[in-house]
Structure 1
Amino acid sequence: MTDTFVLKHRPEDFRVRENVLVPLTDQAGADQHYVLLHKRGYTTMETVRLIAERLGVPSQDIGYAGLKDEDGVTEQLLSLPLTARHAAHELLTAEFLETVDAGRLLRLSHYGYGTEPLTVGRLNGNGFRVVLRNLDEATAARIGDRRRINLLFVNYYDTQRFGVPGGPKRTHLVGAALLNQDWARARMELAGLNAPESAAARRWAGADQDFFAGLDPRAVAFYLAAHSSYGWNARVRELIATTCPTDTDDVRVDGLPYRFPTTAAGVAALLAARHELPYMRYAYRGGPVELPTVRPTVVQAQLTVGDHGPDDAFPGRHAVEVGFQLPAGCYATTALRQLIVQR
């Protein structure tokens, strides 16, 4: 990379709020209770399991529209079944959901009632407010001196798709083993990921296939999708090599390979050559279910530049705050990496 910039130095440096609209109704005619989840230090799936345990319902009964990482401050909607009405009321006031534990936080607040459980795919997008840190003066000036920035960026799956922060980036290998029905290999890979399911995978003493059958199907589908995402990234890298043979930056981020065009014209050349590529989504219903779709190769974002100046966390360096919206499925981190790279 052309700069050793830092993201997510503090959780508050990376704020995310999802954009999803649900029709609301009176409680009397509803079977779903929508709550707003404010969290820090927890993944969405980890939170869902905690709430399901407290409500005494299967984790599949807790609905969400998208996954939010643990290394930021995030807000998203969840749907809870009204069959657990009394337990849900207690959950909203439960003390453990209001306290900070070693930098972690979960808080639920009432949003409304409706008849539609939240499902993956309902998400319209996400809003971000991010602080870029440890910038050199020239890079900070290039970004900070502009009020708005029109950014074209390659729509890569970023590294959080392939592992938790600080853990090995190998979720795609779990997915590959699942597709090959190599259940022992899949459980072994999962056990080494430091993912929320890893501890249970290490303890499991039964048939390996039964372990995955007992997981929330959405969690298993995530690992299958990670395999598909890794292959999609590889196809995009190959396309960039032909559409933009010069002015590219080949980098490894958390050990994973990326190729970034260093000019907006290079990104536009990719867009002109192939505006989208096939992508295989997955569900898991006792086995992988393929859901063919397409994914855009390039995304355009309008960034609003906020506060900028000396970095209080990195003496002698600079920080810039930016705000923007992205469609569902796009990664703010890869957009910001390309903001830094592009000249």
Structure 2
Amino acid sequence: MPSCWPLVSEAEFGPPRSGEFRATPEDFVVEEVLGFAPEGQGEHLWLWIEKRGLTTLEVVRHLARACGVTPRAIGYAGMKDRIAVTRQWLSVHLPGQQAPEDLAARLDALGVRVLEQVRHPRKLKRGVHRANRFQLRLSGAAINDELEARWAWLCRHGVPNLFGPQRFGPAGRNLIRARSLLARGWRKRDDREGMLLSAARSYLFNELTALRVSDGSWRHLVSGDVAILDGTASQFAVDAVDAVDAELGERAARLDLHPSGVLWGVGTSLARGDALYYENAIAERHAVLCQGLERAGVRMARRALRMRLDQPRLERDGREARLDFLLPRGSFATAVLRELIDHPTLTLSTEA
């Protein structure tokens, strides 16, 4: 039986009790927070949509077909869950053209409501949105006073910024395929969307985060860390000295900045000292994945080890609870839920 990446709340409260989420799509609502407004004119038609029971890529294909364009003409900021009610922006390149008059009706028949249409000069690019707002409903034995205590602890200290199980596919099959592909040499024709490369990098990041969760350094700066400012991509190296600057330590305690971990690829890590020790341990433990990613030409990047729950709210009514919070783009609500409830779909295996 594979082990799981550790829970930060377990030392304080013990393992969470069983709970349910996403019994219906309405139990899991996600709304994209763009952070800017379309300009109202330009070659690209931007659509604010609400979907149920569809992945973002399925909507992209439907929209391309309805508008008579290729999927490449469609832009989106992020991938949204299938079993959920999700709202997000999509863009369609329609220079000098109007959208089909029956576009909204055709999409509505497929489970996609068009809430707004507006023009913009540029295509919507991946990762340009600021955050995602989650409104979740939980039920089951885990809904008790302890849940509220766990929630308060996570709001105060943050949550490990783990990639969710959906990144690794059913039963971790994306990760198994990634290991096989990277061992023999990655080729784009075998992984056109880069899904397997992403699974491998995500797994290595989760392994690194798990190392730092195990010794408690996931929410504290250590010597040689690379800090990331909360809610931004701004980062800076922390001097490799015996004691981290007291002011930086206080800012980390306030969730104003976070330690970071490497997203593996070609390049030289900015980490030094104690922080580099963790990365070297991962490189030694998972040499096949690390070397395979480098041979594939993936560029090294960094990701915060911790995420802050922004505008958090919990309302409890008997055996049901409603959670409302914002997470930065690229962060997973399932990483929050696994700290609160025990559910088989939230299991994150450390076996590759």
TM-score of the pair, normalised by structure 2: 0.65
| 2:13 is the alignment partner of 1:7 | no
Quick check: 1:143–1:320 contact (8 Å CA) kept in 2? no
- Letter of the structure 1 residue corresponding to residue 135 of structure 2: R
- Letter of the structure 1 residue corresponding to residue 308 of structure 2: Q
Name which of 249, 262, 272 aligns with 1:278.
262
Residue 194 of structure 1 is matched in structure 2 by: none
Residue 330 of structure 1 is matched in structure 2 by: 331
- CA deviation string 1:105-140 (max 9, x = no partner): 212233311111111121211011111211243335
| 2:146 is the alignment partner of 1:132 | no
Quick check: 2:45–2:93 contact (8 Å CA) kept in 1? yes
SS at match of 1:38: strand
Over 3 Å counting, the alpha-carbon distance change for 1:52 and 1:90 in structure 2 is same
- CA deviation string 1:253-285 (max 9, x = no partner): xxxxxxxxxxxxxxx89x9xx810111489xxx
Quick check: 2:50–2:86 contact (8 Å CA) kept in 1? yes
The residue correspondences of 1:180-259 to structure 2 (distance < 5 A) are: 180=183, 220-243=193-216
- Aligned pairs, number: 263
Quick check: 1:55–1:84 contact (8 Å CA) kept in 2? no
- CA deviation string 1:156-178 (max 9, x = no partner): 00111112xxx333223344445
Q: Tell me, in whole angstroms, the C-alpha distance in 2 between the residues paired with 1:72 and 1:22.
A: 24
Question: Which structure's relative contact order is higher, taking Cα pairs within 8 Å and 6+ residues apart?
Answer: 2
Fraction of identical pairs, as percent:
26
- Letter of the structure 2 residue corresponding to residue 138 of structure 1: D
- Letter of the structure 2 residue corresponding to residue 16 of structure 1: V
Q: Tell me, in whole angstroms, the C-alpha distance in 2 between the residues paired with 1:303 and 1:119.
A: 26
Residue 43 of structure 2 is matched in structure 1 by: 31
Residue 277 of structure 2 is matched in structure 1 by: none
SS at match of 1:93: helix
Q: Tell me, in whole angstroms, the C-alpha distance in 2 between the residues paired with 1:179 and 1:62.
A: 30
Q: Tell me, in whole angstroms, the C-alpha distance in 2 between the residues paired with 1:25 and 1:240.
A: 44
- Letter of the structure 1 residue corresponding to residue 336 of structure 2: A
Q: Tell me, in whole angstroms, the C-alpha distance in 1 between the residues paired with 2:334 and 2:265.
A: 22
Quick check: 1:125–1:327 contact (8 Å CA) kept in 2? yes
- Letter of the structure 1 residue corresponding to residue 330 of structure 2: G
Q: Which moves more between the two structures, 287-296 or 68-77?
A: 287-296
- Letter of the structure 2 residue corresponding to residue 235 of structure 1: L
Shift of 1:155: 0.7
Quick check: 1:305–1:320 contact (8 Å CA) kept in 2? no
Shift of 1:305: 3.1
Over 3 Å counting, the alpha-carbon distance change for 1:136 and 1:24 in structure 2 is closer
Structure 2 runs not aligned, ≥5 long: 1-14, 219-251, 267-294, 343-352
Q: Tell me, in whole angstroms, the C-alpha distance in 2 between the residues paired with 1:119 and 1:44.
A: 14
The structure 1 segments of at least 4 consecutive aligned residues displaced by more than 6 Å after TM superposition are none
Q: Tell me, in whole angstroms, the C-alpha distance in 1 between the residues paired with 2:85 and 2:58.
A: 15
Residue 176 of structure 2 is matched in structure 1 by: 173
Name which of 60, 63, 67 aligns with 1:48.
60
When the two chains are superposed, the root-mean-square deviation of aligned CA atoms in Å is 3.3
Query: When you count strand as a share of all residues, which structure comes out higher?
Result: 1
TM-score of the pair, normalised by structure 1: 0.66
Quick check: 2:52–2:85 contact (8 Å CA) kept in 1? yes
- CA deviation string 1:274-302 (max 9, x = no partner): 810111489xxxx9552321101111214
Over 3 Å counting, the alpha-carbon distance change for 1:120 and 1:175 in structure 2 is farther
Name which of 147, 152, 165 aligns with 1:159.
165
Quick check: 1:173–1:227 contact (8 Å CA) kept in 2? no
Q: Tell me, in whole angstroms, the C-alpha distance in 2 between the residues paired with 1:75 and 1:120.
A: 15
